[in-house]
Every structure is written in C-alpha cells, then in structure tokens.
Structure 1
Amino acid sequence: MNDSQSGSLLIEADPLDCPTTVLLIEDDPADARLIQEALAGAADSAFRVEWVTRLSDALKRLGDERFEVVLLDLTLPDGKGLEAFDQVLQAAPDSLILVLSGLTDEETARQAMAHGAHDYFSKGHVDAHWLPRALRYVMERKTAQGALACSEERFRAMNDASPLGIFVSNVEGSCIYTNAAYHAIAGLTLEQTLGTNWSSAIHPEDRERVLAEWRDAARGQAPFQTEFRFLQEDDSIVWTRVNSAAMLDGKKSFGRVQTVEDISGRKSAEFVLQAAEAALFEEKERAQVTLNSIGDAVLTTDLSGKVTYLNRVAEAMTGWFCTEALGRPISEIFTIVDGTTRQAAANPMLRAMADNETVGLDTDCVLVRRDGFESAIEDSAAPIHDRDGQVTGAVIVFRDVSKSRAMALEMAHLAQHDFLTSLPNRLLLTERFSHAIGMAQRHTKQVGLMFLDLDNFKHINDSLGHAVGDQLL
C-alpha cells in the first residue's frame, strides 16, 4: 500500500480471537506506517486497522461502520485540536478514542482527555511491544469501567425495588443516598432528603430522641435499632423501624447505612390488640372479630400455657384450626426453632407471663407448621390481665418475614460476592484469610495459601463458554 493512500490492514495473531477494529486517522504516512507495524508485531492480539488521512474521510467511515478503537491525530489537514476531537467523539460516542500527540500538541491531548478521550499516546514512544499492550490495557480498563457502571446501575435498581427504605449518610450526618422506598415511607422527594434535611419528616415528638440515639451510635461506630414515626405532609403517620450500622474502611468509619421498614401494620396490630384486651372483659366476641380482621397472626393461652384462641392468620401459619388447638399445650401448636442451630427456641409467651411484661422473639426464629413447612417469623408476646391486674394468660402476635429475611441474606451475599459472577470478592477473601490466620495462631498451627494459575483458560471460555469455565474453576 502506498504511504500516501488510505487503506485497511488485517493484522492477525490468534485465529480464536476476533480482530479488534481500529480506525487510524493520521495524515503523516511515516507515523501511520510505524503504528501499523507496531500493531502487526503484537504477539497476543489481532487488530484490523483502517487508515485514513483526513477528518472528513474518518467521519464518513464512522458513519458507515462501528470501530472499537479510534486513533486520532490532532493535526489533520481539515481538522485540528479539540474541534476535530469533538467531531470524532460525536460520530463515535461508543468507541475507545485515543489521541496521538506530538511534541508540540501534548497539552491539547491532555485537554482532549477532559473532553472525553480515554487516553493519549506520544508518537515518539510507539513500538511493537508497548503500543499493543497499551491499547489492550485501555480497552480492558474501559470494559471494567462499563461493567462497574452496569453493576452499580443494577445495584441501584435492586435498591429502588426493595420494600425496605435505604438511607446512607456521611460522617457529618448529611444524607448522600436514599432509595425510592425511603421516599415513599418518609413522604419526601430525593431533593428533600439530601444534606441535613433528612430528619425533617421525623415526628416532632420523636425527632430529638432519634437524633440523640443516632449521634451516640455514630460516635462509637455501634449499630443501633430504634422505632419512630414519620409525619408526612398530609399529616398521616408512618411507623418505622430503623436499623443503622457504620460503614468501615478498616477501623475508620466513613458513614452509616440505615434500613427503614414500614411497621405501621404491625403497630396497628399492636394497638388493635391492646384495644381488644381492654374490651375482652365485656365483649369477647367483638374482640375476636377484630383480631380476625388484622393481617398478623394472634394466639392466646391461659396461665398454664394451654391454647385458648387462634385467629385465622395464626391458623394458616400454624396449620391448626382454632377448634382443634383449644386446650392443647402451646409447645404443640406453636413450635419454633433457632434458624441457625435448629435447636428448640424458648417460647416468648411463657417469659411474658413470668416477667409480666411484653417480650419479643429471639432473632432468626423459625415457625414449624403442623405439616413441617417452615416460616421465618417476628413476634411480640404480652401477658393478659384480669380486672384486678392479675396475669391470666398471654397473647402472641407474629408474622411471616421470610421474604425480608431472604432479602437481607441476599444483600449480605452481594456485599461479599461479585454481582455478575457470584464469585467471592476481595472482602470475603480477606475475611476468610484473617479467620484462618486467627485460628492457626490460636491453636499454634500453620496455615497455607495456594495460588492456582490455569494456562490457556481464556481459550476454554472463548471456545466452550463461561459456564464450562465456571465448572472448571
């Protein structure tokens, strides 16, 4: 090919790889030949290079075909500097654009980086060893950035789809992120939550207490849980339960993340239950109708722990009809185990009667239905009093939280595994490695770390697919 002509050159290295398409925009034949020879000498890459000498020809080719890489000289006969770069960027917004700079236009090349160029190369440093490697590095960096952006977008979409409100603050206490569920629960827009105004929707009667708890926890980096009310603009009240934990970089906190759960339904059930207890002495039948109308399961016992009542939700969750369960021991009807150890869990109703106070169920509790089906539950148990204030039994209110608990486990999994491949990430590796070292030190033993390198693993992924590659790993 004559040096004064434009043309196309296919440079092959590996038949299994599709060649990377490169549009070289360079009016100097010597520089163009040097770049083509450098790419031809690549030992581990394949490039299909098309060379044009004028900006107008380049814009026409970019309109006809998509090139993965564009190498752009900023001193063309019909286009120079940033104006030429901006035209190429507009014509090929998805391409990897690299600027070729000489000794006199390096500052312009840096300015092109600010305009969107992915990198720039000096023509004086072009050789067969350096240029292909530099191109591959920039391409891999762009791919990684694209994957990261995609992962972040999916993570944000997942957060916005979550029924739990999520609120992230920096070390100064200013809000830096909220999801859609938080906006709905708090009754605030995104703009209203950012900065220090996030607390404006907290009910005035709860605000001082909540902020004090939050500041105390932030100073000690401790997690905390609290309940409070949001007062929305239409004067409606939303009860919430908030879990807050520090985000740590090593031992230093760089902010806090809060999950906000709308517990208005549970609170409503508790209020209904209190009203039902007060009316039980005069109108028991009406109380049962009320209890059957709520969404939470309700079960009552007498002082000896024998079942006296189940509402319809409790019947469905335990697998026992009320008529069958009456008079049976609570342990037979309400069977709960620790979700981690699988050991039988203590019944909160017995403790509520013994301590004469409202108590909650231990975390990670699982209800085993009559047919063996299991549901993760949360509950609260309270004593029932007669007219004289004496304890006559207990009532327990519980609900199925299997979905929210599964989502919490999934969030924990995502924090320690790559979103795209589900492979353990560096955080999990560090945690497991630190644990192994600690165990070895505690038992005066040694611990080994094996690095495994698979030759030609890329060929397996390319020829047989990533699923086979994952099986091999």
Structure 2
Amino acid sequence: MDVFLTNEFQFQSLTYALAEGLLLFDQEGILRYLNMEAERLLGWNAAKDIGVRSFKDLFDPAQISQEECCFFQSSLISSEPVKAKEKEILRSDGTNISALVITSPILKDDLMLGCAVVVKQDISERLTIQNELLRQEELYRDMFENMSSAVVIFEPINNGENFICTALNQTAERVENIPRQQGIGALITELFPMIKELGVWDLVLEVYRTGEKRHFPAVYYNNPRCSGWSEGVIYKLATGNIVFLYDDVTHRKLNEKALWQEKERAEVTLASIGDGVITTDVLGNITYLNPVAETITGWNGQEAVGLRIEQVFDICSESAETALVQPVRQCLREHKVITVTNPAMIRQRHSQQYFHIEVSVAPMRDREETVVGAVLVFRDVTEKRTLLYRLTHQANHDSLTDLPNRLLFKDRLQLAILQACRRQEKIAVFFVNMDDFKLINDTYGHEVGDTILCQIAERLQKALRPDDTVARQGGDEFLILLPELSSEQQAAQIARKLLKALNSPFQIGDQETYISASLGIALYPVDGEEPEVLIQHADVAMYQVKAEGRNHYHFYTEALNERLSERLKLQNEMRRALKNNEFFLEYQPQYCLKNGRICGIEALVRWRHQERGILYPGKFIPLAEENGLILPLGEWVLRSACTQNKLWQDLGYPPVSIAVNLSPRQFRQKDLIGKITRILDDTGLEPHWLELEITESLSMEDVELSSEILRKMKSMGIRLSIDDFGTGFSSLSYLSRFSLDTLKIDRSFISSLSEYADKQAIVLTIIQLAKNLGLKVIAEGVESPDQLDFLSKKDCDVVQGFLLAKPIPVGDIRPYFAFELKDLILKDFMKPAAIKTAK
C-alpha cells in the first residue's frame, strides 16, 4: 500500500465513504487494496483477498469475450484511463451483478505502478428499467409497424397552421402507396391531397384545438397515387402531435355495395314475383311480408312485423274450414322443409274472403347451420283451381247439354257395379238413339237441332230418379244408368216412361215437331259385368229396336250379340275383300219388246267369299251402306262396268247402255259428278252409253238437291232411271221435275201379274204414267211367258228377267248380243248345248 500512497491512513479515510467500490491492482494485476463498498459489492474480504485475488477474478469467464478480456488487461499497462463500461462482475458467491467498471492507471514520476478500478454502485435495477423501456419501445415499434390499421403521425408547425409527417407505419405506406422516406417530412396536404375536399381538414384543426378525439366516416379518395375508401379516428398526443389511425375499408364498402345491390335485387324480386313470402324468427314471429303476402293476408308489413304467424297467416282446410297444423311451427320444430299437400285456404283479414293456396315452408339457417327462422312461400291458386274445376267439368261433361259425357258415365257405372256387387242388386244401362234426327238438322239447321237436343236431355232427366245418370254419348245418342233396380220389370217401366216423355211435341218457333227414340237395355250382372260390355250390349239392343220399327225398347239377348258379331265380322271381311279383289260383276241383258233385240245390260256386283262362296248384294250392300264401304265399292263397280262396256264396243259388239245402281250414300257424296266424269274420261266410254239407276225414295229425300244432281248428269249425256218404282211415295209434281229417261217397275209387281188383278192395274198405271211423261219403261223380274205377253200387249218398252237371261259372268254374255227375244224364250236355249251352239 505504501507504494501508492505516503499516508495510508489518509487514503483509507478518503476512500472509506466512497459510494463506489475501489480496487487497486499492481502492475502484475494482483489486488493491493479494496474499500468497504468493493467488499460489499464483490463479497470479497480485504484480509483474505489482498495479495491473493487478481484483476481477472473480477469477471466471469463465461460472460466475457477474449476481446473484452484483452481490453481490460491493456488498462494495466496503459497510461490512458479507460472509459466507463457496463459489465457483469463476478461475486465471490458465484453470482453476477451489473456494474459500471472504470479503470485508471496509477503513475508515479511517469512510472506505471498499476491501475485503479472503480466499480460504481449496482446498476442492475437501472439496467432492468432501461431494458424494460427498450423492450417496451421495441414492442411499440413492432406494434406500430405491424398494425393492420394505417398510422400516420404529424407534428404541428406554425402554431398548428400546418402539419408535417414525422412517422408512418408499413400499412400507411401500402395504403397511401408512398415509401416512408418520401412520406416523412411531407406536409399533411401532400400526404393526403384530398383532405380538404373530403371535409377531414376541419376535423384535424378541431382535434388540435380541443384535444378531443374525432371519428371520420368512410370517405372515398382518388389521387394520383391511389384510390379507395378509408375510415378511422384522429387524436392528439400529449406532445401535441396529431395521429391518424385509419383503415382501408375499400373491400368492406364494395361488399356493402354488393350486399346492398343483392338486397335491392331481393327486394325487387320479392316485390315482383307472384308468390306471397313471409319470414319469421325462430319463435315464429313475423319479420317480413312482401307485397303479394300483404295483399292476400290483408296485413300491412309494418303492422305485421312482430306478430305471431297465426295472427297473420290464418290457414285452414279447404273441405271443412278447420284449422290445419301451422306449417311454420312444424318447420321450426322439425327443422325441415314442409309442404302442405292437402287443399288449403287462407282467410283475408278485412274482407274475410277465402283464397285457395299452395304452401311451402323452409328453415333459415346461419353460418353455423343453426335455424334462425323460417321462410313461408305461398301462392293464390283460386283462379287455377276454378279453371281446373272448369276444365275437369268440361272433360267430364258434354259441352252442349252439360250432361255427363261417356267418360264420366263409365266412371259412375263402374262405381255402381261395385256397389251392386256388394248389395246383390241389379243395374240397367239404357242406350237411347233418336229416330231420324238427321231430318231435323237437315230441315231446320244444326242450331235448332242443338236446341232440341238440350230439350231432350232435360226431359230425360225429369223422367228419372235423382240418383240416376243421363249422359250424352254424342250426336243424338244418350246413355242412362239406373242403379239399385229390384227387377227387369222396373227397368221396362222406366223405359216406357222415357218414351212417353219424348212423345210430346217439341216446339220450334211457331211450329211443333215430333221425335221418337229407340232404346236398348242391358242389365247387370245378366248381360255383363264390365262398363264397356254393358254399354255395348245396350247398343246392340238399340239397333234391334231400329230394325223392328223404332220408337220402342228392347232388352239385350245373346242372339242379338251373335248377329252383331256376324255383322262386324262381315264388315272386316268386306274391307279385306276390297283389297284382295274378291268382288266381281255379273251382267243381266235387257231386251226391247218392239224389235226383240238386246238394248241394255245391268251390271250386278257379287262377292266371291273365301269361306262362304258367292254372296249376293242383299247380304252385304246394306252393311256397306252403313259403314261407308259402299263408296269405294260403288266406284269400283261403276269403273268396272264402264270399262267392260267400252271393251265390248271395241270388240265390235252392238253398242248398248250399261246400267249401274247408285246407292243413297253414293248419291249424297259431294264429288259424285267429278268421280263419274273422271271414270268416263279414264275408260273412254261415251256418257250416253251409261245409265245410272237411283231409288225412288232417295230422289225424294231432298228434291232440290236431287234435281240439281240429276240435271248435271243429264247435261253430261248420262241416261237416268228410277229403280224399283212404285215401292215408294213419289210425288208426281216432283217426278216431273227430274231429268229422267226411264222408270223401272219393281219385280214385286211383275211376279204376281197373273194372280192379282190389282197388280196388273198398278203396272198398267205405271206404264201409262211413264208414257205421259215421255219416259221409257223397264219391267224387271220377268220369269214367265205370260208375264212377257202381258207386258208386250200393254206397251212396255224393255224387259229383263230369268225368262230371258239370268245374271251371268262376263265370259258368257257374248252370245246374247246375237240372239233375239224370240230365240231366248225357246225351251232348249237355256240348256248348255244350246248356248254352246249359239257361241
């Protein structure tokens, strides 16, 4: 110690009260002195450690680098003091303390004796505070830089007349599209060019003046650097700086705009659709009604919001007007779509009017799939149901009489059959056809005919029981269902009652007309157990009434069905025969009584049936007339007859007329004249060699029309004759109007000439009538010489019959062109040998 100070007592006194620890080391670094504060700080003991510890014992080898160790070591030999340095000092107990270490050389006469080390007071607490401040500052900087909001700090200049940017974070750099170096130091109007136009500048001045924080709403900016929406707050720091804390809300504003547009679209859609829409919360309270829902329910949307669904949507059953299960409650309870399938109605609030509706309810869910309410969609189907009812009624009822049609009749008949089966009862089905109703339409017109049909329907309904059904089959045909019959006699009694109801005259303006009906009856279960079978059998029975004279009723029998089946089979076979050319012609010569030579040939159709052999016209012509096959068949006959007659002429045979019958249906076809013209043109036969025969009754059906058609035929050169004259009720005045050439006396008058004087008188009258009208007379069915003799004496013109020649095939008729009448009545001529000789 004496090396360093001459007065040791004085040195100890000076260093004893020092607040810093003082240690003296010699040039070798060995401890030579330490004061009491150094003992306290380091835990050293002067008595033990002086001369023992060295300079290196001050530092923890684990806490000091080699570079720092050399630095402190150099202070032992340096003549310059070392600046203060904070360092961890090692205590005797092995712990470290933070201390400020200062080294200073000890010189005497410029000779380095060692160094003094000053260890200032423990700075651990200060360092801790300092470190905490540094940590807080670093945290602040991290927060400042990494905030999602933009932060810009301005410092006021010129007493708040302007502001200059002193800091901005990364978010502000990105939002304002400006680097930090350029932003710091920029004026507020340079950083925010539109601050005054957007009204934010006034807020800045207010915040600077009052110190109160202000919020600025979302504003849209558009400057050369960037554009978008921003929203935030402005506040003042204690330092007087102004802070902008704001967010880029461009995406939010765009989403809000899109959401608003979507909401507008939804509002417009809900306001324009034809369905009513009601929304509720999870408790079933109304939250929204669209205009259609307001109209149907009678509730205003503002009035309805908050009310229970039952108060606004008063739904009930269509049938009994009883309350249904509220579909909204069911939907909220079961969390699924509910559709009201049963017919439902809703009652309007003010008018108490009921609307037919269709209803569907679906749950509304949030993002977590939690049910938060329900959407009820319904539509007014009142008009639809009314239209559906009307269409259903039209589909099941006759448009003219409003009676059930055939479809509805069959449904009711099927139900009646099921009930009758359980109750062991009878059912009757009537098929009613008006007799000669076509004459009404032709005479008075279809409008009058429709009026009479309505009157017929009304009479039929009045004559029946309430549970009976009258249906219109179509045209002038009606179907009647009589359920719960006790006997066949009861059905007959009702049939007579119906016919009596129709016997009264029908009024047509100032005139009265009478109409009768033919009625067929089929009984369940005797005549069938299926609706279609019963209707068919009643139809068969009705046709039997027609055949027996009409204006009556007839029960179905199996024999009737057999005849109908035979007719149907024959009809089908006739269609096949037309395709397979099974029809052929036979020819019967006609002879002139004056010169005895052939003057005409009648063409007669035959059917060479594959199973039944040769069928004559009486077997199939009436059927063909009914089903319309007479038209193609008659055309074939006419064409074939004309072709054959032209062939005979081309072969050099004496030209004669070919006679062909025209059926009533052929005569009434619209293009008859055109067909005849084409046939004559196609075959090359001159019209005056064709003679067309029409029946007496046919010509009288429509005298005006008949006269017109016959006049056109006559103008073509065709010869015309009335067939079977005397069997109808011809009017002589009308007969004189027709352009006729011939009257043909029916065979029924000729066959009994020798037996009955009155028949001779009739024939004589017809001949005289024809002569007076300038017409030729043909007598058919001549089978005996006496008949031929009578006709010859009474000045008949032409005869034909078995006495002269039977209808014969085309190959056998050629000899008849050469023979005279006197030769044909020879007894041996009809023998095959005579015919062979004649050939």
TM range (shorter): 0.3 to 0.5
Mark the structure with the bigger radius of gyration.
2
Q: Which has the higher contact order (CA 8 A, sep 6+)?
A: 1
